[in-house]
Amino acid sequence: MGTANDQGRSFGIVAGVRALRQNVEIIAAGVEVWLDVGRIEARDADGVAFRHDLWFDSCGIGLSAQILAQRNREREWVEKVPLLRRIYRDKLVYTSTTLRSLLRGAISRKDFECEITVDDATIPCESVTDILVQATPIYAGDWVFAPDGRPDDGKFEVIVLRGTADWAAAAIGGHKRNPVTGDDLEVMGLPRRVVPSGALIDIRLHPNGGKRRSVPAQIDGEEFPAADHYRIENLFHHLRIIVPEGAHWV
């Protein structure tokens, strides 16, 4: 069910052996809902599409994708060490990679510039470290960056993160068990987050300081080719899934 079970948790489904009986009961009850699906297209600098795919949980460009790629490399290495692979695995690998990547980012910034168009609204963005496009609410097991977003409303939420301080604000304000409000963040000197949403999202990356570099990308926790231009379309009610009655994220 994924490293952090984001998809399951987004609908109140817990993973693990102890939840087996409950999950079988959920299947037996057969409560179905519709889920929006994302179609992503990677394009080169000339606007020519060279890769497309479908996703249904989230996609990311920047730091989150970099963390994922690093986690995959570490997981491949750990698999070769019999004793270590029994301990250093799953969410522990992901958490360790995340903390080290954030620390490196605080020391040597790796940001980029881009232009994001959400439906008809264009947002120029400077010093961006990460872009997250969310279909379902839970991210990395514990964060809800857009609590008002719904997985079946024909829209995706776009979270733009700029630098270490912005990541800290997102981590504090977006934790699903944290009662911190937008007003509290402002008192702490952290920005109140505005999350745009739309059915058609266009992301164009620009050279930073005249230098073009590859920015990692991911969809549903899998590495996706780096590109200069991404086009994301919401496929309304494209997938039917079984969920608990009165489903809500956990």
Whole-prediction pTM: 0.85
Residue 153's pLDDT is what? 96
For residue 18, pLDDT beyond 80? yes
Nearest-Å Rg of the Cα atoms of the chain is 18
The rounded Cα 17 to chain-centroid distance in angstroms is 26
Give the right CATH number for 6-242 from 1.10.260.40, 2.60.200.40, 2.40.110.10, 3.50.30.30.
2.60.200.40
pLDDT at residue number 150: 93
Contact criterion met (CB below 8 Å) for 136 and 128: no
- Average pLDDT for residues 15-30, to the nearest whole number? 94
Tell me the pLDDT of the chain averaged across its residues.
84
**Confidence check: pLDDT of 206 > 80:** yes
Condensed to tens digits (0 to 9), the pLDDT of residues 114-155 reads 999 999 999 989 889 999 999 999 988 888 989 889 999 999
